Amino acid sequence: MATTRRTTMLCRLFACAAVLLLVFHHVPLAIGQPFPQQVCNDTSGNYTENSAYQANIRLLQSALPNKASSSPALFATGTAGTGADAAYALALCRGDTNASSCASCVSEAFVYAQQLCALKKGATMYNNPCILRYADWDFLANTTDNRGKLIAWSFDNVSSSAAPAFDAASGRLVNATADYAANNSARRFGTGELPFDQTYPKIYSLAQCTPDMTAADCRTCLGTIIRTFTPTYFTGKHGGRVLGVRCNFRFETYQFFSGRPLLQLLAPPGPPPSPSPQPSVTGQGRRRDRTALILATALPLAAAILIALAVTCFCFRSRRTEARQDSAKPYSTNPDNIQSIDSLLLDLSTLRSATENFAESSKLGEGGFGAVYKGVLPDGLEIAVKRLSLGSRQGVEELKTELVLVAKLQHKNLVRLVGVCLEEQEKILVYEYMPNRSLDTILFDSVKSKELDWGKRLKIVTGVARGLQYLHEESQLKIVHRDLKPSNVLLDSDYNPKISDFGLAKLFEKDQSQGVTSHIAGTYGYMAPEYAMQGQYSVKSDVFSLGVLILEMVTGRKNSSLDNSEESVDLLSLVWEHWSTGTIEELLDPFLMSRQAPPDQMSKLVNIGLLCVQDSPADRPTMSSVSVMLSSNTVSLQVPSRPTFCVQELEGDSHLYTDAYKRALKLQSTDKTKATIMSPNEVSLTELEPR
């Protein structure tokens, strides 16, 4: 143990030394940081607030997202202003995305650029799935200028025996995909796949240039970054990418893009060398990919050596002892590492010891599913142990499916699954421990709610929105949560929110927009009307639930509570009544008003909440749009319509299709599109009873 601690201490010292050396040399470094990544152009100088240049940037900000998303190539350039105040911009979305995601990404990139490169005249943003650049000089005239590159690669290596064959295969695929992209005159975009071996069944690649480049210039640009960076950074690695404004490429051992590959190569003749066995992971930990992001700047030799030492130490640290709070980028975790439940199994004896044999004093709470206990593993990690009751309807096989899927989700606003125990007829889930428990235990407590000032509430709402955005749009698995509510939002020691409880979640295909179920499950008061009444669910169902949560956060009132003085009117109707009469401040949480929380910002959140609870799913914003609205003060908000439905639990009748619901259903427009049946290939997570 002492040796381990000394090793960890040395690793941290090396890491600190590396960072200090880089600071003194002014070399930007970003390891394990989330997208977006930025390159702020210091050489262009600064602009001042409310200057003509800033006004021109905002003109581009209002025009470029729609211009890019409406372009068949998802590409746009723009110029605003003249002379010294002129601003030039370029936006490029990845060829496998859609128009709405493109517009949201570019809008978000502008917001990030003005935050992360504040008052800088030049900025390049690598957001997922788009690139944005603006500057005060005409870089648009030179289509071969690819400066400001970003490099990323996997820390994990292909086994030494298989590395030569793997490098040859990935190189062949990357170059073939570059050829395809260069010759694709419509988009200058290509994706590809190549079969390899049993360890890595297929290698996938992507290449793209801005569509205004010629085929020859595109291929030259791609060839340059492939030749320059592959030998140095990607040899023996099973994943990597280079992002540039004018051209970029990427390869992985899992499919990271949407749709079928545009290019499919045949496997090379003869089997590649069999990889040597990977060392197994002992204890309760499991191996996971880690990634590094580093700006393409030449590093001094001494700094490179120190970084290598720090990274080496970091790579061998246990993920159990220090949970990594990573971003929503697909590159952060290779889901192929988690193929079965075996990598998540924990011993029952370990959990008994951690919870003092599930002592009553260790119990955090109890619900219909069973009890939750606080525990401490031998390495000191605090955990929440969810012990499903013996009568739980959740089957072992269903549970295994859920856990493998949830374990593949890695985001700082999702609760991290530590492991599972299935011994002696027990079904136990182990999560990271959240010191501040669930949001409902604080928000709806007259005393504890005073812990949530305006800053904390805004942080919670923004974090939940980002977590849902990851589930809906950014993860390799497209997930609809279906049971978002305050009790399923947990808070860490700094009140950072983490979405929990995926027992009702549904996995969608990437191109799937909605599904239907005859088994309605969830929580009354947070269900979207189309789901509660017709069993239709989609990502917009989660948006509705978020809207209810936002209105609860701003008013401090519980949506399902019917003891309000306003004659037991549901919260949505109550908010609309005050909103439409211009008296919304009367409904805002008195505690926030007493602390001089900004009324305009609270009113803005009410507006966003009402947009999220619109009756028609088509009228609700996407989660990426919600994130942009929350983070930007310049985005104009639409005017919401009156929310008609609020599905509440009826006392003495837990069945949704009561006469009241049937009457409400008849009030809906008869021309709404009928739901389509879920694909037979749907992978479903466990459905629990309404609670």
Instruction: Tell me how crowded residue 664 is: count the other CB atoms within 10 A of its CB.
Output: 16
Cβ density class 177-190: b for 16+ within 10 Å, e for less: bbbbbbebeebbbb
Higher local confidence (pLDDT), 422 or 261: 261
Instruction: Tell me how crowded residue 687 is: count the other CB atoms within 10 A of its CB.
Output: 18
> Are 156 and 238 a contacting pair, CB within 8 Å?
yes
> Are 414 and 481 a contacting pair, CB within 8 Å?
no
pLDDT in the model for residue 318: 32
Inform me whether the pLDDT recorded for 240 exceeds 80.
yes
Instruction: Kindly report the CATH number that applies to the domain delimited by 437-631.
Output: 1.10.510.10
Q: How many residues does the chain have?
A: 691
Residue 464: which of 448, 485, 479 has the closest Cα? 485
pLDDT in the model for residue 344: 79
pLDDT in the model for residue 583: 93
195: confidence class by pLDDT, cuts 50, 70, 90: very high
Measured distance CA(625)–CA(506) in Å, rounded: 22
- The domain covering 37-135 belongs, at the CATH homologous superfamily level, to Gnk2 domain, C-X8-C-X2-C motif (3.30.430.20)
pLDDT in tens, 380-403: 899 999 887 765 555 566 566 567
Residues of the chain above pLDDT 70, percent: 70
Q: What is the mean pLDDT of residues 263-292?
A: 50
67 is in an annotated binding site: no
Question: Looking at domain 340-432, which CATH architecture does it have?
Answer: 2-Layer Sandwich (3.30)
| Torsion (CA) 203, 209, 213, 218 in degrees, nearest 10 | -40
Inform me whether the pLDDT recorded for 30 exceeds 60.
no
Measured distance CA(217)–CA(212) in Å, rounded: 10
Strand-pair category, 189-195 with 263-264: parallel
pLDDT in the model for residue 33: 40
Q: Which of 292-296, 414-418, 485-489 has the highest mean pLDDT?
A: 485-489
pLDDT in tens, 513-565: 566 665 566 677 888 888 777 778 888 999 999 999 999 999 999 886 544 44
Mean pLDDT of the chain: 76
Known catalytic residues? 483
Coil, strand or helix at 416? coil
pLDDT in the model for residue 333: 31
Coil, strand or helix at 333? coil
Q: Which of 194-203, 337-346, 471-480, 583-592 has the lowest mean pLDDT?
A: 337-346
> Are 550 and 589 a contacting pair, CB within 8 Å?
no
Domain ranges of the chain: 37-135, 150-264, 340-432, 437-631
Q: 518: number of CA atoms within 13 Å, CB side?
A: 1
Task: Name the token pair of 627.
Answer: 């994130």
Higher local confidence (pLDDT), 41 or 626: 626
Inform me whether the pLDDT recorded for 448 exceeds 60.
yes
Starting at the edge strand found earlier in the chain, the sheet holding 363-367 runs 363-367, 370-376, 382-388, 428-432, 417-421
- The one-letter amino acid code at 29 reads L
Residues of the chain above pLDDT 90, percent: 44
pLDDT in the model for residue 402: 60
pLDDT in tens, 341-395: 677 788 999 999 999 999 999 998 876 567 889 999 988 899 999 887 765 555 5
Higher local confidence (pLDDT), 114 or 299: 114
pLDDT in the model for residue 680: 28
- The domain covering 150-264 belongs, at the CATH homologous superfamily level, to Gnk2 domain, C-X8-C-X2-C motif (3.30.430.20)
328: confidence class by pLDDT, cuts 50, 70, 90: very low
pLDDT in the model for residue 301: 30
Q: Using omega within 30 degrees of 0 as the cis cutoff, is the peptide bond preceding 195 cis?
A: no
The β-bridge partners of 203 are 194
Task: Name the token pair of 536.
Answer: 């239709």
> Are 635 and 624 a contacting pair, CB within 8 Å?
no
Higher local confidence (pLDDT), 102 or 517: 102
Q: Do domains 150-264 and 437-631 have the same CATH topology?
A: no
Q: What is the mean pLDDT of residues 646-667?
A: 37
